[in-house]
Amino acid sequence: MAAITVTPTGEGTYAVEVDEGVSSSHHVVTIASDVHARLAGGVSGEVLVTAAFRFLLDREPKESIMSRFDITVIARYFPEFPDRIGDYLP
């Protein structure tokens, strides 16, 4: 299983590293506060982004994940994302 490290870098911006031992990928994700509240309620941005990457990694390899994107873009590719993200939250 991939190790996902999420680090806040600014208001609503997160650096993400996905490490699979032999290779890793780096990403930047943005989340508007209203989207954060709608998708994740009371969990932190770090927890939400980690859950979003777990969701993505269940569907595609890390190399297919865009290097920079807003979290709302996920639903364009995977329409079930808003309904399923709760399954990935603690």
Tens of pLDDT along 4-62?
Answer: 999 999 999 999 999 998 999 999 999 999 999 999 878 999 999 999 999 999 999 99
> How far are the Cα atoms of 15, 22, 76, 90 from residue 73, in angstroms, in the given order?
16, 28, 5, 22
Listed residue (7, 2, 12, 3) closest to 70, CA to CA: 12
- Using alpha carbons only, how large is the chain's radius of gyration in Å? 12
Tell me the domain boundaries of the chain: 3-88
* Burial category of 83 from C-beta neighbours within 10 Å (exposed 0-12, middle 13-18, buried 19 and up): exposed
Whether 34 contacts 1, CB under 8 Å: no
Entry pTM: 0.95
Please give the pLDDT value at position 42.
Answer: 87
